[in-house]
Structure 1
Amino acid sequence: MIDEATAKARYWAEEPPIHAHPDAISLIQHYRPDLQDTEAMIPILKDIRLKAWKIKYYPCVGLWQFFKFGMTEMSIYPEIIERLKQGQRILDMGCFMGFDGRKLIVDGAPSEGITNMDLEDRWFPLSYDLFKDEDQFKGEFFGGCDINDEGLFGEGSIHRHRYDMIYIGYFIHLFPPHKQAHIINSLIQMLKPDSGSMMFGNTAGTAKENGYRMKADFAPPVRNEKGEMERPDFVFHSTKTIVDLLSEAVKEEKDKEWEYTANKAVFDTDTSPTKTFALHFKDAEIVELNFCMKRK
């Protein structure tokens, strides 16, 4: 894993982007009436972010990218809210501190239909420290959930075929390219096998048609075919390669009727201000990538 000094030099912005992301500030203020003064909010945000950083030196933590609600920018967002109002259930896989789930609630969704899941359960107490909603949130938090473990989604699991919608915001890039189709297929096992069930998400992508690969410095080394330890590959998908990935993931499924969409938008550079970050990814032509697969 990358050491803290290198990670901080590359993936750290000291001040929270309170002006760049007013939706995030409004969300916190909704739950915390005592923080209507944004200046009073800053030291609390810094303290909680530092605690999260000590757990994992993720770029999205150091650069405050969890302030960005990727779900709300998708054209299907109104549909998501309406389906939750009708009693459907959504899984936020890789939820971090559950910002997106709480945004759904503020926008009218009942909390009972929201399930948050992450490999790292140490994020969850931090979320309650920030939002102070432990007595209000009626949804679920599941920690210690490894999508590589078949027990999470296999026969007999409470999560198998349970969810109408699965959101994977900034999740799939955490896995080596050669494993991503398998990861998507595993997630599909947690979706209900019904028409209209869908999985959607966002990731940092590339404007390059065939994607862009580089070595991941924030992931632990893996053993290659020669038995040597090396950094795993990291892939920035394009609209083409992400659709190819989604279709590859379900090609062996009996139910092959899926609709796929993918689009790109300008990558949010407001939360990525460091020169080192810009130099590190200068060849990637980074864009914001949104995608969805829905059963017909």
Structure 2
Amino acid sequence: MIDEATAKAKYWVEEPPIHAHPDAISLIQHYRPELQDTEAMIPVLKDIRLKAWNIKYYPCVGLWHFFKFGMAEMPIYPEIIERLKQGQRVLDMGCFMGLDGRKLVVDGAPSEGITNMDLEDRWFPLSYELFKDEDQFKGEFFGKCDINDEGLFGEGSIHRHRYDMIYIGYFIHLFPPKKQSHIINSLVQMLKPSSGSMLFGNTAGTAKEGGHKMKADFAPPVRNEKGEMEKQDFVFHSTKTIVDLMSEAVKEGKDGEWEFTADKASFDTDTSPTKTFAVHFKDAEIVELNFCMKRK
């Protein structure tokens, strides 16, 4: 696993990008009206971010990428809000501190239909510390949830066939490429087996049609075929490879028929990544990648 000094050299930007992400600032000010002065907000944000960083040295934490509401930027966002208003339920898998859920509420969705889930439950107290909404947010938080554990989605689980929509924002890249199809299929088992149920998300992708593979330094090493410990593979998907991945996950047909979409946009570089970060990913041709699979 990467040590803190190396992680900071690659993935740490000191100042929060408050001028680059007005939506994030407005969201926090909605819940924390005493922080209307953005200068007063900075030490609060730095304190919360440092506590999150001390839990996991994730690039998205060090680079303030959690300020970016990936769900809200997707073309289907209005549909998500409308479906929640109709009483449907969305699962934010790998929710971190539940920022996307709070954004949904501010944009008109009832919090009762929002479920937040993460392997790491130490993020959750930080979310309440930031938003001060313990008495307002009526959604759910489930921690210590490992998508590799069949008990999470298998027969008898409360999560099996429970959700109308599942969001995976910057989630699928956490898994080795060879396991990603299985992960997608496991998530499908938590969707309701009805027309319109959908799995959608976004991730850092690549403009290269065939995708781009490299070694991950923020994940635990794995043992290769020779019995040697090595860094895990990390893949940047393209619009083609992410659609291929989703299709592969449900290719046997027992989960019904699906339609798949993917689009790309410019990668968010306004958080001023470090020079080390830029060198590390210089060959990836990074783009923003949105994708969705919806049951017909």
The interval holding the TM-score normalised by the smaller chain is: over 0.9
| Counterpart for residue 129 of structure 1 | 129
Query: Separation in 1 of the partners of 2:254 and 2:32?
Result: 48
| Counterpart for residue 271 of structure 1 | 271
| Counterpart for residue 141 of structure 2 | 141
Alignment map for 1:198-277 (pairs within 5 Å): 198-277=198-277
Query: Separation in 2 of the partners of 1:139 and 1:256?
Result: 29
Alpha-carbon shift at residue 226 of structure 1 (Å): 1.3
| Counterpart for residue 119 of structure 1 | 119
| Counterpart for residue 97 of structure 2 | 97
| Counterpart for residue 40 of structure 2 | 40
| Counterpart for residue 57 of structure 2 | 57
Query: Separation in 1 of the partners of 2:253 and 2:145?
Result: 24
Cα deviation digits, residues 131-155 of structure 1 (max 9, x gap): 0001111010000000000000000
Q: SS at the partner of 2:181? A: helix
Query: Separation in 2 of the partners of 1:53 and 1:253?
Result: 41
| Counterpart for residue 84 of structure 1 | 84
Query: Separation in 2 of the partners of 1:256 and 1:158?
Result: 21
Query: Does residue 16 in structure 1 map to residue 50 in structure 2?
Result: no
253-262 or 166-175, which deviates more: 253-262
Query: Separation in 1 of the partners of 2:242 and 2:256?
Result: 17
Alpha-carbon shift at residue 168 of structure 1 (Å): 0.1
Structure 1 unaligned regions, length at least 5? none
Cα deviation digits, residues 51-77 of structure 1 (max 9, x gap): 000000000000000000011111100
Cα deviation digits, residues 70-102 of structure 1 (max 9, x gap): 111111000000000000000000000000000
Query: Separation in 1 of the partners of 2:212 and 2:287?
Result: 12
Alpha-carbon shift at residue 19 of structure 1 (Å): 0.3
Alpha-carbon shift at residue 272 of structure 1 (Å): 4.1
Please give the TM-score of this superposition, normalised by the length of structure 1. Answer: 0.99
Alignment map for 1:171-190 (pairs within 5 Å): 171-190=171-190
Q: SS at the partner of 1:137? A: coil
2:104 alignment partner AA: L
| Counterpart for residue 290 of structure 1 | 290
Alpha-carbon shift at residue 202 of structure 1 (Å): 0.2
Q: SS at the partner of 1:23? A: helix
Tell me if the contact between 2:267 and 2:287 (Cα under 8 Å) persists in the aligned partners. yes
Q: SS at the partner of 2:287? A: strand
Number of corresponding residues: 296
Q: SS at the partner of 1:293? A: strand
2:137 alignment partner AA: F
Please give the TM-score of this superposition, normalised by the length of structure 2. Answer: 0.99
Tell me if the contact between 2:11 and 2:273 (Cα under 8 Å) persists in the aligned partners. no
Query: Separation in 1 of the partners of 2:255 and 2:117?
Result: 26
- Percent sequence identity over aligned pairs: 90
| Counterpart for residue 156 of structure 2 | 156
1:183 alignment partner AA: I
1:247 alignment partner AA: S
Query: Separation in 1 of the partners of 2:61 and 2:143?
Result: 18
Query: Separation in 1 of the partners of 2:145 and 2:13?
Result: 29
Query: Separation in 2 of the partners of 1:256 and 1:279?
Result: 43
| Counterpart for residue 166 of structure 2 | 166
Query: Separation in 1 of the partners of 2:247 and 2:176?
Result: 17
Alpha-carbon shift at residue 50 of structure 1 (Å): 0.3
Alpha-carbon shift at residue 273 of structure 1 (Å): 2.4
Alpha-carbon shift at residue 271 of structure 1 (Å): 1.7
- 4+ residue runs of structure 1 moved beyond 2 angstroms? none
1:121 alignment partner AA: D
| Counterpart for residue 108 of structure 1 | 108
Query: Separation in 2 of the partners of 1:186 and 1:19?
Result: 39
Query: Separation in 2 of the partners of 1:231 and 1:74?
Result: 32
Alpha-carbon shift at residue 253 of structure 1 (Å): 3.6
